[in-house]
């Protein structure tokens, strides 16, 4: 692979160790590249430069949420991302601080490969008018609001009626998102290189209660029927209020996220069991023997 010569390093401001580690990485790379710039994930000037495609690689330090934000930023310019896990789970990461010196050397030798992951293009419609559009790396969720009553979700696949879910919500996830909310709702884990949409109902009531994996290239449209609150959320961002009759549509987007990887492609399967056994909440409340 090409050796990146212009690198941006993004540190999540709420991860205590991230800014100092970003500086340390920048100092290590400075003699080896044409330009290395580091800053916080939400620094407007640095984000603008990354978004315009000025850099050949981005190094992101934080947790899975940091990788989501970096993915949204880097996908339009097709800038590859190397994630350094400083968080709790790290489903989207391959390396941590222990591997960092060796992997930075590998990066500078071009000894890496790119894992390309699909994004969802999500749109919000009301009476035939498009109100919003977003790209999602994990999922779009259509669900009830604060009132604890199910919503009716008329679901179409490729413009053909599938079913009406009566449920707390419906998750439309990418394979990347299959290890996020969709997993918590009982969905299967999909290999990250697939380009399929996964539908997972949340607390369905007398409805189809099994996840459905759509064919590659399929699209989904969800129409809300409710007399109370309903919302949509894209990759865990603040909820978008929905009215009865509103529609959320999702399909494979034109942008992809490229992650820099060093191990063989089977790393994903090797990491599944360790990740599933690392829930910090259950570990902290486990009774003493």
Q: What is the H or E stretch that residue 184 is in?
A: helix 181-184
- 203: helix, strand or coil: coil
CB 59 within 8 A of CB 10: yes
16 to each of 24, 39, 83, 175, 208, how far by Cα in Å? 14, 14, 16, 30, 44
The sign of the CA dihedral 73, 71, 125, 224 is negative
Strand partners, 120: 136, 252
Task: Please measure the distance between the N-terminal and C-terminal CA atoms of the chain and give it in whole angstroms.
Answer: 50
Distance between CA atoms of residues 112 and 85, nearest Å: 17
> How many whole angstroms from its chain centre is CA 126?
26
Q: Which of 2, 43, 64, 135 is catalytic?
A: 64
Taking the C-alpha atoms of residue 204 and residue 83, their distance in angstroms, rounded to an integer, is 36
Is the Cβ–Cβ distance between 182 and 211 less than 8 Å? yes
Close Cβ partners of 164 (under 8 Å, ≥ 6 residues apart) = 152, 153, 154, 155, 207, 225
Rounded to whole angstroms, the Cα distance separating 91 from 85 reads 9
Supply φ then ψ for residue 283, to 5 degrees: -65, -35
Q: List the beta bridge partners of residue 240.
A: 232
- Is position 64 annotated as part of the catalytic site? yes
Cα–Cα distance for residue pair 134/229, rounded to 1 Å: 21
Catalytic positions are 64
């Amino acid at each position: 692979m090409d050796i990146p010569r212009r690198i941006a390093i993004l540190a999540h401001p709420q991860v205590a160790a991230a800014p100092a580690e970003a500086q340390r990485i920048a100092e290590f790379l400075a003699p080896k590249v044409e330009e290395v710039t580091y800053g916080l994930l939400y620094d407007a000037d640095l984000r603008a430069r990354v978004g315009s495609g000025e850099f050949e690689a981005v190094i992101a330090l934080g947790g899975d949420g940091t990788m989501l934000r970096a993915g949204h930023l880097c996908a339009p310019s097709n800038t590859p991302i190397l994630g350094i896990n400083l968080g709790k789970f790290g489903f989207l990461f391959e390396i941590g601080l222990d591997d960092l010196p060796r992997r930075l050397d590998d990066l500078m030798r071009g000894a890496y490969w790119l894992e390309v992951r699909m994004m969802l293009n999500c749109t919000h419609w009301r009476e035939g008018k498009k109100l919003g559009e977003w790209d999602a790396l994990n999922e779009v969720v259509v669900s009830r609001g604060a009132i604890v009553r199910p919503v009716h979700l008329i679901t179409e696949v490729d413009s053909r009626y599938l079913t009406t879910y009566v449920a707390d919500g419906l998750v439309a996830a990418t394979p990347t998102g299959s290890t996020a909310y969709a997993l918590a709702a009982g969905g299967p884990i999909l290999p990250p290189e697939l380009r399929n949409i996964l539908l997972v109902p949340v607390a369905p009531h007398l409805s189809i209660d099994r996840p459905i994996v759509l064919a590659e290239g399929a699209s989904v449209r969800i129409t809300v029927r409710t007399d109370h609150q309903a919302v949509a959320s894209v990759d865990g961002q603040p909820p978008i209020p929905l009215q009865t009759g509103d529609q959320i549509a999702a399909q494979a987007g034109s942008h992809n996220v490229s992650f820099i990887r060093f191990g063989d492609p089977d790393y994903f399967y090797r990491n599944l069991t360790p990740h599933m056994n690392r829930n910090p909440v259950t570990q902290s409340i486990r009774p003493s023997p």
